[in-house]
Structure 1
Amino acid sequence: MKTARQAARQRRRRRRLILGSTVAVTAAGVIAYLVMGLLPDRKEETGPATSARVETTRVTAAPTSQPRASTPTATGTPSATATPRPTASETTAPARPSATATPQSPRTASTTATPAGRIRPGTTYTGVATAYEAEDGNGACLFGPSPDLMIAAMNATDYETSRACGAYVLVRAANGKSITVRITNECPLPCAPGQLDLSQEAFAELADLEAGRIPITWQLLSPETSDTISIRYKTGSSPYWCGIQAIGHRNPVARLEVKTEGGWRQLPRTEYNYFLSADGSGCGNSIRITDIYGERLTVTGIALRPDVVQSTGLQFVRH
């Protein structure tokens, strides 16, 4: 049997063991608490990150309320989100074929609207006739001297930047007399719209020169002629700049084009009746001329020879 002293010793050992275990457990708990306190809170960490990603998405996403219609910027250019709209040039068929167009015969009918300017076929104009000394027949149209002085100068308004050059006009006086003249010159202000300044030779066919000024009516004429159209390059023309003129045409010329690498190019017309290629494109190449009735003639084989009249062998039809 255990003695009282042994029993007391065992009780003291158990108390020490229990106390040690308690202290150990308590220490472990404190350590665990400290460790957990030092660890980062993952829930709080993921919260801001998720919020940042959502915000980034909002910044980069296209606004759903932005209109689709084109909104011009300060320079007139549509914004990046604008819906493209075709321009007038995209919705209208080109007036001239491209360089790859099928070759055409020298004579074709224009598919565009009538190119007539102020002077229109079938229209009668009212005005007055005056007279001037035509000398050798040359004038603002720069056709050169003419052996036929049945010519006239068109008032500046109806001259229309030389569109009237070469037109044949039937002139009737109030006394019933009439004459056909060709427009070779311009009558500057104070010549009024409708006024024709006839050569003295032409005026004399209608009235005495002493009359000075007579009332007339006139209209465009498409005459009978055996002449064919000629082409002349202006003095100083080269592959880098050229002026081109049509001569001897039955009907007024409304448009002149040259063949370039990019297709047919319409040249601007000057008041002195030449069509200019300021950069030389098309100079020496094929030429296409259109009259006010819309007939189009293609001219080939014309060399770039300044101030030389070269026949085409072609002529517009009579109307």
Structure 2
Amino acid sequence: MAIFFPSSVQLPFLMVAVALCFLPTSFAREGVATWYPGGSSFACENEQPGTMYAAVGPSTFQNRAACGRRYSVTCIGGTNAVPHPCTGRSMTVTVVDRCEGCEPGHLDLSYDAFAAIANPDAGRVRIRYHRVY
């Protein structure tokens, strides 16, 4: 029986293949977050939002397909003159609403969710977010 030893050319490819097996299934994206006061009715009728929720734009909302999706959101910087708006915390939010004016990568957070990650006076911050399964 022969023993297989990878050549010096094959070894890097083998190492990359093994490393790819350990990559997460979802990658963090960067975007922006704003906050809105919410209300008593949401586009996702069956969701019980609590206080940590988000609205997403039409391309992400996809005719309610995004309802109930959860995202981990972290502030990574400001977009205006408010100095050091980030709290350093991350927050998990649930999609419960549609934001007509939101482009892809724009999450419109509840006031409580926004305040957990950033100073609400900033109004708009840069974020890193990824889907939580």
**Which residue number in structure 1 is paired with residue 124 of structure 2?**
213
Q: Secondary structure at the match of 1:219?
A: strand
TM-score (norm 1): 0.30
State the one-letter code of the partner of 2:91. I
Deviations 1:223-263 (A, max 9, x none): xxxxxxxxxxxxxxxxxxxxxxxxxxxxxxxxxxxxxxxxx
Question: Is it true that 1:135 corresponds to 2:39 in the alignment?
Answer: yes
Tell me how far 1:132 sits from its aligned partner.
0.5
**Which residue number in structure 1 is paired with residue 93 of structure 2?**
181
Determine the C-alpha separation between the residues in 1 that align with 2:43 and 2:29.
22
**Which residue number in structure 2 is paired with residue 155 of structure 1?**
57
Question: Is it true that 1:169 corresponds to 2:81 in the alignment?
Answer: no
Higher relative contact order (CA closer than 8 Å, sequence separation 6+):
2
Report 1:56-71 matches (<5 A). Answer: none
Q: Secondary structure at the match of 2:117?
A: coil
State the identity %: 35
**Alpha-carbon contact 2:54-2:94 (below 8 Å) kept:** yes
**Which residue number in structure 1 is paired with residue 114 of structure 2?**
203
**1:212–1:182 distance in 2 versus 1, CA, 3 Å:** same
Determine the C-alpha separation between the residues in 2 that align with 1:214 and 1:131.
10
**Which residue number in structure 2 is paired with residue 45 of structure 1?**
none
**Alpha-carbon contact 2:49-2:96 (below 8 Å) kept:** no
**Which residue number in structure 1 is paired with residue 103 of structure 2?**
192
TM-score (norm 2): 0.68
Deviations 1:71-101 (A, max 9, x none): xxxxxxxxxxxxxxxxxxxxxxxxxxxxxxx
**Alpha-carbon contact 1:134-1:149 (below 8 Å) kept:** no
Tell me how far 1:184 sits from its aligned partner.
0.4
**Alpha-carbon contact 2:34-2:108 (below 8 Å) kept:** yes
CA RMSD of aligned residues (A): 1.6
Determine the C-alpha separation between the residues in 2 that align with 1:143 and 1:213.
28
**1:151–1:163 distance in 2 versus 1, CA, 3 Å:** same
Deviations 1:145-202 (A, max 9, x none): x36111100122111222111001100111432100000001112x111000000111
Tell me how far 1:135 sits from its aligned partner.
2.8
Determine the C-alpha separation between the residues in 2 that align with 1:126 and 1:214.
11
Point out the structure with the larger strand share. 2
State the one-letter code of the partner of 1:148. G
Q: What is the aligned length? A: 99
Runs of 4+ in 1 over 6 A off after TM superposition: none
Deviations 1:20-43 (A, max 9, x none): xxxxxxxxxxxxxxxxxxxxxxxx
Q: Which runs of 5+ in 2 are unaligned?
A: 1-24, 77-85
State the one-letter code of the partner of 1:160. Q
Determine the C-alpha separation between the residues in 1 that align with 2:124 and 2:100.
16
Determine the C-alpha separation between the residues in 1 that align with 2:112 and 2:105.
20
